[in-house]
Structure 1
Amino acid sequence: MTHSVLIVDDNRISRDSLRDLFDAAGWQVTTRDNGIQALQACEQQHFDAVITGYFMPIIDGPHLLGILKGKAAFQSVPVVMLSTRSFEQIAEHTDTEKLAFFMSKPLNCEARQALVSRLSEVVVATKEKAA
């Protein structure tokens, strides 16, 4: 079964790296540069998961998370946040209870594989729970 993921990050290198990682794992990948574009994409299609950066222009990761989780269609969609800041630092401005999980950037090879594996498990569990 193919999963779909929306990757939102204003850093092109990070976004492209994640796109390549999830493409190679067989996911259907959509990328966006910022939170406004992400919200527009979410109005047009359903995603099984969302990966967002913390710092972004216009709408940052914490605000994007809040907006998505405020929409009925996205309440059960797992959202992962990536940041160069620590979990403690992002928790000051983020409702971390709404996150599926958090990972620190940069992602080394082991962390990249863990991201795909862990998100795959969360998506499968979420789909099974909804069924």
Structure 2
Amino acid sequence: MADEVSQRADRLLSLWSELSMLHVALGGACACGTGGISLRLDDFELDIVGYLEDNGLRSGIAEVIDFFSDLQKAGMPSQPLRQILEDARNDQLSAAVAEWLLPKLEKTLRSFAELHGPKARG
């Protein structure tokens, strides 16, 4: 199980590394990239972790609640999503936390990839 979690986390870490470097145009920007506001996807990292944290604290699963409570107490690292995935890859998350967290994170990152990944640009 630990090896499977590690491999899954490694794949997600690779996906996040690719996605985090991409830019998203917001506002009135045209296809040529001029005008409007451009953000890198890593600007959404805290939002993604905040979403997971909110759901985790309401999950009813003691280990997941403890994980996010401890994360709050310790303070958010500068790259929390990357840190969580590295912890999962290095078998530093409990099985219950990894089992709850990784599928949600995978769904979120795959959604970002579908919307903003290289293939989405045509």
**TM-score normalised by L of structure 2:** 0.35
**Greater share of strand residues, 1 or 2?**
1
**Greater share of helix residues, 1 or 2?**
2
Which structure has more relative contact order (CA 8 Å, sep 6+)? It is: 2
**TM-score normalised by L of structure 1:** 0.34
Structure number with larger C-alpha Rg: 2
